[in-house]
Chains A and B, each alone.
Chain A
Amino acid sequence: MKTARRPKENTELNITSMMDMMTIILVFLLKSYSTEDISIAASADLQLPLSTSEHSPELAVNLVVTRSMIVVDGDDILNLTVKPDPENPGVSLPAIPDDEKRGQIVTLLYDRLLEKAEAAKALGANTGVSELDFKGRILLQVDGGMPFSVLREVMYTAGQAQFGEFKFVVYKGRQP
C-alpha cells in the first residue's frame, strides 16, 4: 500500500530582506561617519545657536555657559541665578550672583581658568613641542538665550586669565 509522503518542508531561513536592510544602513552610516575633536552635552539648559560658519573646532579649554551654571572642562564652577530684566517687566534673565564677582571678574571662574593657563604654559615649556604651546584659545559653548551681560563678564574674566582667543561653538546650519 502506498503511503502518501509529506512534502519536505523548507526550513531554511530567508535572510535576503535582512541583508538588504543591513547593506543600505551600512552604506548610509559609512557615509556619515566623522569625528570631532570636541563633544557637547545636549541638554535643555544648553541650546547652541545655528550659524553659517564653516570653521571646524579645535582642542582647547572648554567653557560651557548653560542657563543654570558655568562649567569648565567638565567641572562645575558656579550656579547662575535669575534677575528681572529692567527693560522688560515680568521677564527674568540668567545672571551671575553678585557675591561671585569682584567688579567684572567672576572669581571662581578666574581662578580655574588661570590654573588651566598656567598648566598649559608649563606643559608647553616642559615638552618643547610647539603644538602644545599655550595659545590662549578657549571654546565657548553658550546657550542661545543667554543675555550679553553674562557673556561679557565671562569673556572679561577669561581675558584677565590670559585667554584672548575666543571660539564660539555653534551648530552648523542655515538659519530659517
Chain B
Amino acid sequence: MAVNRRETATEPLNLIPIMNLVTILIPFLLLSAQFIHLAVIDSTLPAIAPPQAQEEMEEPDKPPLVLSLGITQKGIHVLGADHVLFPDGVPELGEGEEKPPTVPCLSAGKCTGTLDYNWAELTRMLAQIKDEYPDDQNVILVPDSNVPYEILVHTMDAARADQENPNPDTGEAKLLFPFVVIAGGAI
C-alpha cells in the first residue's frame, strides 16, 4: 500500500525586490558620497570694524593688546605682546643687526616648507599671551608678499585654538585668537 507523503515545500526567500532596491540605491549614493569635507575660515577686511568689541579693561595699568603676526620666509614675528613674552625686556640687538623672528624656522635660515615653521612654539606663545588677555580674540596677520597661502592658513589654525592642550573639563581645544584680520604690507 502506497503511503501518501505530504512533502512540505519550503519556498526559497525571494530576494529580487531587495536586490532591486539595493541596485538602485547604490549608484545614487555613490554619486553623492563625499569623501572630502570642506570648511571655511572667516576673515574680514581691516577697514571693517573688528568682530570682537573690546570691553573696558579691569586693570587700567595693563596695556591694551593689539596682537599682530608678521609672517615671513624666515619665521613668524609676534608683535604687540613683548611685555608678556619678554617680561625681563626684549633682547638687545647689535648695531645693524636685523630683528630675528620671534618664532624662527626649525632649520637655520629660510623655512623650506610648511613643516619647517615651528607651529607648536607659535601656539605655545599665543597660549601664554591668551593667559594674560583671556578676553581678547582678535589677531592681525601681516604676511610678506611671497609667503604662500597655505602658510597663512596654517598660521590661522595655530592662532585659532590650542589643539595639544585641551580643556581638562570639557576636552575641547583651548580657544586662542579665532578672529582674524588680514592686513597687506610688510612689517
> A residues touching B (Cβ–Cβ < 8 Å)?
12, 15, 18-19, 22-23, 25-26, 29-30, 32-36, 38, 40, 48-58, 85, 87-88, 93, 139, 142-149, 151-152, 155-156, 159, 164-176
Contact = CB atoms under 8 A, between A and B. Distances in A.
Contact of B41 (A53, A147, A176): A53
Contacts of A175: 114, 119, 154, 157
Interface of B: 12, 15, 18-19, 22-23, 25-26, 29-30, 32-45, 47-48, 73, 114-115, 119, 143-150, 152-154, 156-157, 160-161, 163, 182, 184
Given A29-B29, A146-B148, 8 more contacts: A52-B157, A144-B149, A149-B145, A164-B45, A166-B44, A166-B45, A168-B153, A176-B115
B148 A55 contact: no
A147 B44 contact: no
Contacts of B39: 51, 53-57, 169-172
Contacts of A51: 39, 41, 153, 156-157
Contacts of B38: 36, 38, 40, 48, 56-57, 169-172
B26 A22 contact: yes
21 contacts: A22-B26, A40-B38, A48-B38, A49-B149, A49-B154, A53-B156, A144-B149, A146-B149, A148-B144, A148-B147, A148-B152, A149-B146, A156-B184, A164-B45, A166-B43, A166-B45, A167-B41, A168-B43, A171-B39, A172-B37, A175-B119
Given A40-B38, A168-B153, A159 B146 contact: no
B157 A30 contact: no
